[in-house]
Amino acid sequence: MTTSLPAHYRRAPFDEDCAPRRVLRLFSGKWTTMILHTLHLLGGSSRPGRLQRSIPGLSKKMMTQTLRELEEKGLVCREIHQIMPPNVEYSLTSLGKVFVEPIEQLYLWGIDHADALEALEANESRTAASIPSLEAAE
């Protein structure tokens, strides 16, 4: 698999500012990929309430914070509609549509490999159960 990478990434794939690290930093936020993915599923745009209802466990505070970060990066734009009452809509920018592509591929991979993910979680559970707690050691 690494042979398909350009030679400079095979030699030093983890340079501080290399493209793979920059992508991982972008997608490292807990809600970033879910918000981009959900906006994509909702046709590219959504009002905040609908977006929040579409992502279980996402608090209003975290949604607002993540949307602000995505807006600063140019992946999402916020449009205020001057009607009564005013409403806000968030949508993917053209750059956001580019960055949602690998997220969609990763999500599809996860669906296709759900059994592997379940095996991974089972391994983690077994490992956690076999490690004695500090309280029991005292």
Domain definitions of the chain by residue range: 31-137
Per-residue model confidence (pLDDT) at position 3 = 61
Per-residue model confidence (pLDDT) at position 80 = 92
CB count within 10 Å of CB 22 equals: 11
Per-residue model confidence (pLDDT) at position 18 = 80
Q: What is the mean pLDDT of each run of 10 residues along the chain (138 residues)?
A: 62 72 86 96 94 96 96 95 88 96 93 92 82 60
Per-residue model confidence (pLDDT) at position 44 = 92
Per-residue model confidence (pLDDT) at position 137 = 53
Q: What is the pTM of this model?
A: 0.78
As a whole number of angstroms, the distance between CA 7 and CA 17 comes to: 16
Q: Does domain 31-137 sit in CATH 1.10.10.10?
A: yes
Per-residue model confidence (pLDDT) at position 127 = 81
CB count within 10 Å of CB 37 equals: 17
